[in-house]
Amino acid sequence: MAEQSEWRIFATDPLPPGTRIACRIEYDGSAYNGWQAQPHPGSRTVQQTLEAALTGIAAEPLRVHCAGRTDSGVHGHAQVIHFDAPTARSCKAWVIGSNSRLPADIRVHWAQPVPADFHARFSAQARRYRYLIANTAIRPALLGRQLSWQRQPLDAGRMHAAAQFLLGERDFSAFRAAACQSSTPYRCVTRCEVSRRGDLVVIDIQANAFLHHMVRNIAGSLMAVGTGSREPAWIGELLGGQDRTRAAETAPAEGLYLVDVVYPARFALPLTPPGPLLLGS
């Protein structure tokens, strides 16, 4: 897979104007007001910063579409975007040229042509998020903007047992932000695992899609189970009650990462390697 990704980065043949290009984007969201471009001036977002860099390569304005919009402070390890190239450029130009214009906290890892029916958001079959919690008596001095923190001891086994109530297609109104604009509260969670790795407690969750603040709201309630203040079955009760006010507080944004997006095999996108904080698959 490394050779496959390298080929995509360094392919130097220009692609004709109008070619649809997909890219993997990695970013530290700490300094940004989320992914989505904002209409008011002075709002720094990942999308606006990325589009400015790509526009510099294209010499024409272009607009990108992403797999999932992340909130302020949330990080992207495997954000996928697409755009229709207005000018003839190679994969190498899109990757190397964009990175030369981007700040150090945003990187383009690969670019490749995709069929015209590919859409970064609507072609995605699943998204996977990872939530990282530093479970230490004192807040860590290092990586403070890349980890959440909980001083009370967390029982990852209890949290994992509680997380199994989330599996399947369910109404997630209990974990939905009031500002959520989705037309339906139903989502299908196919994986939710909680594990301890030293001082880190890791929540891994995959679903066909997510509601606004859904992962952070789930993380907050799972931590309530982990501290012993709630029983694992409480998560099932919350789902049945469909009342956001009964769940725990929303967990901080700092610990949340978009770590993978799954697409049909026919698009042949590169697999995403684990990142330095993401501790394996």
The rounded distance, in Å, linking the Cα atoms of 122 and 124 is 6
Q: Has residue 2 got a pLDDT over 60?
A: no
The DSSP call for residue 89 is B
**Sole residue written with tokens 């047992």:** 161
Residue 175 has phi, psi (to 5 degrees) of -125, 30
For the chain, the farthest-separated pair of C-alpha atoms sits apart, in whole angstroms, at 59
Helix axes 156-163, 214-226, angle to 10 degrees: 130
201 by Cβ neighbours in 10 Å (0-12 / 13-18 / 19+) ranks as: buried
42's tokens: 């002075």
User: Three-state DSSP class for 253?
Assistant: helix
Domain boundaries defined on the chain: 2-123, 126-257
d(CA 88, CA 19): 8
164 vs 143: which has the higher pLDDT? 164
Does 3 have pLDDT greater than 60? no
Report the catalytic residues.
71
Q: So what's the architecture of 126-257 in CATH?
A: 2-Layer Sandwich (3.30)
Burial class (CB in 10 A: 0-12, 13-18, 19+), 134: buried
Looking at residue 274, its pLDDT comes to 73
Structure confidence by residue, pLDDT tens digits, 177-229: 888 888 899 999 999 999 999 999 999 999 999 999 999 999 999 999 999 99
Return the percentage of the chain with pLDDT > 70, whole number: 94
CA distances from 144 to 37, 133, 201, 217, 275 (A): 26, 11, 15, 20, 17
Confidence band (pLDDT; 50, 70, 90) for 276? low
Task: Please give the average per-residue pLDDT across 234-256, as a whole number.
Answer: 95
Number of residues written out for the chain? 281
Contacting residues for 229 by C-beta, under 8 A, at least 6 apart: none
Average pLDDT of the chain is 92
Kindly tell me if the per-residue pLDDT of 1 is higher than 50: no
Q: Which two tokens stand for residue 13?
A: 């043949």
Averaged pLDDT for residues 254-273: 93
CA 224 to mean position of chain CA atoms: 23
- Whether residue 69 has pLDDT greater than 80: yes
CA dihedral 35, 135, 198, 236 (to 10 degrees): -80
Q: Could you give the CA distance from residue 162 to residue 186 in angstroms, rounded to a whole number?
A: 19
CATH architecture of 2-123: 2-Layer Sandwich (3.30)
